Amino acid sequence: MRSLVLAILTVCATSSVAVAAQEELIYHHGLGAEGCGKHIAWRREGLAAYDRGIVQWTWGYISAFNNAAKKQTPNKTLAPTTVLAYLDKYCRDHPLELVTSGVQELIDDLGGRL
């Protein structure tokens, strides 16, 4: 089981997705670059390593957004359970999207985009 989790995390860490934004390409790497279908499947398997990894990836993405954004998200802590519940709902509602899209929507809901 441990080798399966390590294999999944290795694949996720090395994957990337190009997203067009403001006439330039932004590359997303890591767990957030995976599709919602994989997110749903891994969450159903109860992989604690994935749960910790996607929460950390989400926090890092929001931190990077705040570092570069004109309008930052409010300075409040998002509990891991909140992040997981938000992404679970997003991915159930949008199974063909990327997890990154769910995190971007979370940023919107937090008031971080103009």
User: Within a 10 A sphere around the Cβ of 106, how many other Cβ atoms?
Assistant: 20
Predicted local confidence at residue 1, as pLDDT: 56
3-class DSSP state of 25: strand
pTM: 0.75
- Which domain does 99 fall in, by range? 34-109
23, part of any domain: no
> End-to-end CA distance of the chain, in Å?
43
114, part of any domain: no
CA–CA separation, 111 vs 72, rounded Å? 8
Q: Which residues pair with 20 in a beta bridge?
A: 25
Please give the chain's pLDDT, 114 residues, in tens.
Answer: 555 544 454 544 444 444 434 445 566 688 888 999 999 999 999 999 999 999 999 999 988 888 887 776 777 788 999 999 999 999 999 999 999 999 999 988 888 764
Number of domains the chain is built from:
1
15, part of any domain: no
Pair of tokens at residue 4: 């399966």
Predicted local confidence at residue 67, as pLDDT: 82
5, part of any domain: no
